[in-house]
């Protein structure tokens, strides 16, 4: 057992000391922060944008619809924009007759084509009233944010005009048109109300991604490490001092510990960066921020209980041990990096294959696919924590699935150790499947 720790210690220290580890540990959180903040920044930026206001409204309806649209566009501002509202452009409403409309459109087109002028024009005419058709032409015609804003402004104005015609009081109309709705989602299970549904999805998918990433990075590292020992021929000295099974176990444990260390650092650094940079970024986009950036982005881990946390850690360990042992065996069978990638393929298919079903599990966490995949040892580490985050799972199922998973690990280690024992000293051409099967039988 002492030697197991010697191997695990070397594996851990050498990897943590490597430049690659330091770079990945710093780069990934920056990347994650960017993924969080750039879309938030873009959205905030366009929400604060005034593109939808710097336009000409050609109103041929004769109902004052254009003026109402203009008023709504102008009043549709957030607190931050209100400060700059004085300098922001106002829509220019031009009430024209139906006959003069084509000429007005021509001149508006020319205005848009001139630089630093209005960005587009909106046409409201008889067809707007009869068939609810609106036309818009402009530089920002493909901006979903701007056109959505215009559409909703027209809808609101249209509703107001209709209500006015029906004789509704102006105060009621203004109340209706400014009605804004917010909905909070809360999940309910046997234990009562839980965290928000979104947090559960975030948690479930997050765990899956972390496991997937650590198997891909660190599992592959085990494979590469085994290959290195083989190609530098240091393997023979090492195996003359320690049982191959113990060596394999030590390597997997060391690499797994590196993975855990890296993930803890990733999460900690990302959380730090996001909470500290989110307010800055959002402020630069013109959005006022109160409180922490994390809550501004709607992230919370409310659904995480101690029990769930323990189960997640168990699945993580089992999943890593299962895949890393098999990858180590794959590494011991071959002599070159290319052959190693090929030998690792079937194992990676199991992993990626499980991941492909994530979507259907999120959509239907109690469905047959989700249930079956949360029992198979190669997919349960990814699927089960996600399922548990999404919907309640009876503890008997969790315990059973964990037991199957542990059994799968024992089998994987047994198989890997036998392949490893023979493979480590085999040089020459890549063995066929039949040969590997023979190794397993005779080792």
Partner 1 sequence: MHDNDLAIDIRGVTKRYEEHVAVRDLSLQVPRGAVYGLLGPNGAGKTTTIRMLLDIIAPDAGSIAIFGRPNRESGLLNRVGYLPEERGLYRKMQVRRVLRFLAELKGLKAGEADKRIDEWLDRFGLKTKERDWGDSKVDELSRGMQQKVQFIATLIHDPDLVILDEPFSGLDPINAQALKDAVVELKRRGKTVVFSTHVMENAERMCDAVCIIARGEKVLDGQVTEVRSSSGRRNVALALVGNTAARPSENGVGQVLGDRQLVRHFDDNNRYFEIELAQGADAQDLLHRLIQAGARIERFELILPSLHQIFIERVGASNVETGMSGHG
- Catalog residues that contact partner 1 under the rule CB under 8 A: 2-3, 6-7, 10, 14, 18, 228-229, 231-234, 236-242, 425, 438
Residue 332 C-beta: closest distance to partner 1, Å: 14
Residue 340 C-beta: closest distance to partner 1, Å: 17
- Name the DSSP class of 119: -
Instruction: Compare residues 10 and 67 and give the one whose CB is closer to partner 1.
Output: 10
SS3 300: coil
Residue 251 C-beta: closest distance to partner 1, Å: 13
What's phi and psi for 30, nearest 5 deg? -60, -40
CA torsion sign for 387, 393, 398, 400 is: negative
CA torsion sign for 180, 186, 40, 135 is: negative
Instruction: Compare residues 118 and 246 and give the one whose CB is closer to partner 1.
Output: 246
Residue 172's alpha-carbon distances to 163, 176, 178, in angstroms, are 9, 6, 10
Residue 253 C-beta: closest distance to partner 1, Å: 15
What end-to-end distance do the CA atoms of the chain give, in Å? 22
Instruction: Compare residues 99 and 237 and give the one whose CB is closer to partner 1.
Output: 237
* HSE-up of residue 237 (Cα within 13 Å, Cβ side): 5
Residue 443 C-beta: closest distance to partner 1, Å: 8
Instruction: Compare residues 6 and 85 and give the one whose CB is closer to partner 1.
Output: 6
Instruction: Compare residues 241 and 338 and give the one whose CB is closer to partner 1.
Output: 241
> Of how many residues is the chain composed?
443
Instruction: Compare residues 45 and 224 and give the one whose CB is closer to partner 1.
Output: 224
SS3 22: helix
Residue 25 C-beta: closest distance to partner 1, Å: 18
Q: How many angstroms separate the CA atoms of 103 and 100, rounded?
A: 6
């Amino acid at each position: 057992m002492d030697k197991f720790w010697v191997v695990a210690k070397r594996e851990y220290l050498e990897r943590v000391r490597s430049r690659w580890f330091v770079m990945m540990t710093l780069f990934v959180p920056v990347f994650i922060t960017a993924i969080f903040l750039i879309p938030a920044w873009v959205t905030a930026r366009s929400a604060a944008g005034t593109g939808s206001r710097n336009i000409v409204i050609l109103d041929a309806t004769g109902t004052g619809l254009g003026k109402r649209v203009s008023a709504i566009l102008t009043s549709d501002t957030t607190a931050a924009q209100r400060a700059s509202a004085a300098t922001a452009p106002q829509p220019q409403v031009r009430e024209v007759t139906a006959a003069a409309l084509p000429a007005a459109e021509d001149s508006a087109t020319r205005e848009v084509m001139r630089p630093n002028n209005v960005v587009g024009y909106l046409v409201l005419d008889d067809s707007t009233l009869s068939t609810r058709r609106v036309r818009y032409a402009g530089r920002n015609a493909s901006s979903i944010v701007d056109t959505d804003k215009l559409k909703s402004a027209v809808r609101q104005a249209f509703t107001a005009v209709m209500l006015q015609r029906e004789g509704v009081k102006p105060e009621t109309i203004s109340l209706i048109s400014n009605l804004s709705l917010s909905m909070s989602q809360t999940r309910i299970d046997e234990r009562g109300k839980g965290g928000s549904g979104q947090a559960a999805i975030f948690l479930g998918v997050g765990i899956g991604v972390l496991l997937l990433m650590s198997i891909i990075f660190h599992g592959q590292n085990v494979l590469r490490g085994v290959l290195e020992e083989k190609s530098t021929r240091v393997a023979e000295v090492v195996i003359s001092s320690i049982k191959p099974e113990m060596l394999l176990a030590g390597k997997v444990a060391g690499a797994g510990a590196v993975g855990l260390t890296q993930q803890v650092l990733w999460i900690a650094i990302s959380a730090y960066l996001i909470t500290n940079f989110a307010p800055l970024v959002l402020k630069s986009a013109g959005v006022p921020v109160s409180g922490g950036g994390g809550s501004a982005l709607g992230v919370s881990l409310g659904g995480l209980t101690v029990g769930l946390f323990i189960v997640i850690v168990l699945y993580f360990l089992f999943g890593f041990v299962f895949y890393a042992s098999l990858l180590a065996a794959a590494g011991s069978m071959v002599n070159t990096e290319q052959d190693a990638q090929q030998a690792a393929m079937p194992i990676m298919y199991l992993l990626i294959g499980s991941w492909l079903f994530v979507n259907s599990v999120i959509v239907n966490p109690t469905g047959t696919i989700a249930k079956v995949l949360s029992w198979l040892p190669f997919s349960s580490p990814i699927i089960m924590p996600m399922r548990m985050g999404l919907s309640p799972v009876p503890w008997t199922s969790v315990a059973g699935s964990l037991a199957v998973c542990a059994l799968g690990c024992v089998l994987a280690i047994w198989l890997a150790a036998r392949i490893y024992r023979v493979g480590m000293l085999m040089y020459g051409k890549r063995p066929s499947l039949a040969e590997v099967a023979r190794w397993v039988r005779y080792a």
